[in-house]
Amino acid sequence: MTRIRTDLALEARELYSHHKDDMMGVESESHNENGMEITRVRITSPEGERKLGKAMGNYITIEAAAIKDRNPEYYELVSQNLSNELKSLLNLHNKSNILVVGLGNWNITPDSLGPKVVDRIMVTRHILKLIPEQVDERVQAVCAIAPGVLGITGMETGEIVKGIVDRVRPDVVIVIDALASRKTQRIGTTIQIADTGINPGSGIGNKRMGISEETLGVKTIAIGVPMVVYAHTIGRDSLEILIKEFSNQATPGTEFYKMLGSMQEADLDAMVSKVLSQGMGDLVVTPKEVDMLIDDISGILSDGLNLALHHNISLEESRRFMH
């Protein structure tokens, strides 16, 4: 049984596509836009939910590999694509009340994505309540919170968010969190949007109380970016590449060739686990430049959110508001 872990529905779909079973209950389509691959995965039945290990709903993935080139113009294109995809899910009206929640621990860099995005959100609810006559009609009521984590607050994040929702009564909740991927090249360059909510801590195998429409009672959209990958996954991928190279060079019919051909997923898992068991167990790995990646992607997400949540607000206007 494979131990590969991922929070991305796209990757769960890729992993399952290697099986011979049909994919009833799972729909998928992709297209390229502005140099980005946008994939929509829709899980439509309990069977699809079971196969992919993801809740029924819509998952939109924006793969923007050129984020690593640090081109400001490209960043704006990614933000615009994010905004467009969000608008298609949100369906906001003129008097919408929106709550943005940044999950994660601001003291741990790979887990600080949510709080950093919240820090750049154009929050306006208080202004609309206090001086509504001075507010542009394009501005929506937006409030934001970075509730911290259980280890800091002593409270489940879901409990804190539920309490705020009961008091503020938003029309929609948008949750931002760092995720785990199975591919290192997707770290900091892939954005997943889902209308199924999120389980805080699931990226590192530490599931907490879910934050979703089911638990909050209001529409909940989750936005996540992979910031870590498991060492076990890297080891598995390395072994698969090595075996493939050896198989291409080995003489057909030899014992070595037969041995390579007989290797199963369980065998690869066992090899990697043997190595990891000599240390502290499975490790969660993040790039050395993660602080730079977090700053860049949090700016992209906040810009995309500001464009999506307010009517016809430009990036220049939202940035001017923030400064």
pLDDT attached to residue 323: 63
Tokens of 147: 């509730």
- Residues constituting the chain: 323
Residue-wise pLDDT for 167-205, tens only, equals: 999 999 999 999 999 888 899 999 999 999 987 655 455
Portions of the chain given CATH number 3.40.50.1450: 9-233+283-322
Please choose, from the candidates 117, 65, 116, 68, the residue with its C-alpha nearest in 3D space to the C-alpha of residue 289.
68
The C-alpha angle with vertex 73 and arms to 69 and 79, in degrees rounded to 5, equals: 95
pTM of the predicted protein model: 0.86
Residue-wise pLDDT for 64-123, tens only, equals: 999 999 999 999 999 999 999 999 999 888 889 999 999 999 999 999 999 999 999 999
Residue-wise pLDDT for 38-48, tens only, equals: 999 999 999 98
Q: What is the CATH class of 9-233+283-322?
A: alpha beta
CB atoms within 10 A of CB 68: 16
**CA distances for 269 relative to 1, 9, 16, angstroms:** 8, 22, 17
